[in-house]
Amino acid sequence: MAQPIADRRDVDFVLHEQIGTVDHELFEQFNKKTVDLIVSEARKLAIKEILPTFKDGDEIGCTLENGKVTTPESFKRAWKLFCEGEWLAMCDDPEVGGQGMPRTVGCAALEYMVGANSAFMLYYGMTHGAAKLVEAFGDETQKKLYMKKMFAGQWGGTMLLTEPEAGSDVGALTTAATLNDDGTYTIQGTKIFISAGEHDLCDNIIHPVLARIEGAPAGTRGISLFLVPKYLVNEDGSLGEFNNVVCTGLEEKMGIHGNATCTLALGDKGPCIGTLLGEENKGMPAMFQMMNESRAFVGVQGFAVASAAYMNALDYARTRVQGRHLTAGKDATAKNVTIINHPDVKRQLLNMKAYTEGMRSLHYYYAKCEDIVHTTEDDALKANTAALIEVLTPIVKGYITDKALEVCSHGVQVYGGYGYCKEFPAEQLMRDSRIFMIYEGTNGIQAMDLLGRKLSMNNGQSFVYFLDQIRKTIIEAQKIEGLEVLFEKVELALDRYDVVAYEIGARARSEKVLNAYAFAHPFLEITGDIVFAWMHLWRACVAAPKLVEKVGSLDPEAVAAKVGKNKEAAFYAGVMASARFFINTLLPGSYGKMDAILEGDSCVEDILDVSFGSK
């Protein structure tokens, strides 16, 4: 199979033709040749080393014995090569062991690696996020002891928030921290659903732990953040005694079996020692840095798995022969054709293609926004772009992972009965993708965040800036011949959406607050639809002139005559087809949701517990 994870031509299109990288001295060494080499090396590692772990992770999984977790043997070689290639800190400052590459380029590399095995790459995601916490909030001792070894992948990392009685309601946690005479803290408590919480890929695992110091205020205001290593670390950086962080159970999950999802008992078997990371009672604001990075990474997981599902389904549809062409009629001599020739299969593939390409463009754009914030000296641009990142985060995490499951489901359907069997990867990709809608704040919480915070952030000016970016693309599309129907439909949808956003925002600040939040997730969905229409219109702005250059016009007959002989023409025609399909076929579905929000039926508020069904 030539393209088992991602469409390299589309990766290059988004990287070099649509989004591009930030022009800054920090990135001057990353010219097109260098970027292409990096993506090629990432693709090579993903296909040759990480992809072979995909089945092992699912079928062998992780095993727990005497508090120790063993990962599949193939994971160890893949992790070693991943770390030796310095991929873990590819976008980080060289001073901490990073490669300093643009985040857009890192996003392309991650797409291949995560698409190869999302469970395996969770070990990366947790470690990188924890290392960034140390970089941002650690004192000099903590940075010296932990940071570089974590960025190098010698030591792993996690994020310990959830407890049996404190899931999304983090403020209800009961893990306690008691101050010791030497300034350290004794940590006591139990954490559950901890990804990569215990494993044998690294010599040590550093756990950022949320806990409450004795006498601290109730709720999130009284939560502090601590660094708790699996093994204590001596002053010279060598490993000391076991720190009594014990894995007491592994979750039996629907998917991602290759990642150890642990229950961890801290301090049950003896003293468990942690050091304060940042300030007392400021643990939640600090942890939100890792949570926001993790939300973006979960979006990458959804997108990369969707991309892999699409590429596998596309390959299967091009080779699976079944049924005669619909136009063959009663011709008994007509030969069977590959299933990609059947209209309903083409519809499903085009659905997968349109969503996957929208995901890719949005993720790379999101990454470029991060690069802008990191490099610009324009204070207004920095503030507006940082706010834009916040507005887009619920879409990157919530909408993308919703649609990733849908894409994977279409993938199963394209395979037919075989898609439901383990012989092909479609069913595992679908199982693995289901957790992404729950990770790092469920998608319902992402919807509440979009409505309750992002819509009104900075007195609504950040949301206005977001809408203005879409309108800029519409204005650009107006200058390009052949895009009239597309930009008009996006403009009409955006105008309608603007009305809906104002109405539901006002409702959320009124006595109808419950009604507003009953429609929070539909509002997230239509926001995602608008953003993807924006991305596809933007893609079409780039592709249409280049298709005209290759073909001479956008006339369907002229295009059809050329694409079979010219790969570039075929690619740009595919970009245009995705844009047409999304804007003309999928986007109109948003109008019904927008009408429902404006009508504001109170059914969700009105129905009582007893009316859902018998107990």
| Residues with a known catalytic role | 440
Contact 216, 224 (CB under 8 A): yes
Answer yes or no: are the C-beta atoms of 220 and 291 closer than 8 Å: no
Neighbouring residues of 511: CB distance < 8 A, sequence distance ≥ 6:
none
CA atoms within 13 A on the CB side of 201: 33
Residues pairing with 363 in the sheet: none
* Separation between Cα atoms, residue 363 and residue 103, nearest integer Å: 10
Strands 176-179 and 204-213: parallel
State the alpha helices, DSSP H only, in 338-378: 343-375
Alpha helices in 46-146 (DSSP H): 53-59, 73-84, 103-116, 118-137, 140-142
The bridge status of strand 204-213 relative to strand 155-157 is parallel
**Residue 220: DSSP 8-state:** G
| Separation of CA 217 from chain center | 34
For the stretch 47-76, what's the b/e string if a residue is b when 16 or more beta carbons lie within 10 angstroms of its beta carbon?
Answer: bebbbebbbbbbebbbebeeeebbbbebbe
Q: Do 241 and 271 touch, CB atoms closer than 8 A? A: no
List 231's β-bridge partners, or say none: 242
Q: Please give the structure tokens belonging to residue 385.
A: 């772009």
Three-state DSSP class for 87?
coil
Annotate 341-362 with b (16+ C-beta within 10 A) or e (fewer). Answer: bbeebeebbbbbbbbbbbbbbb
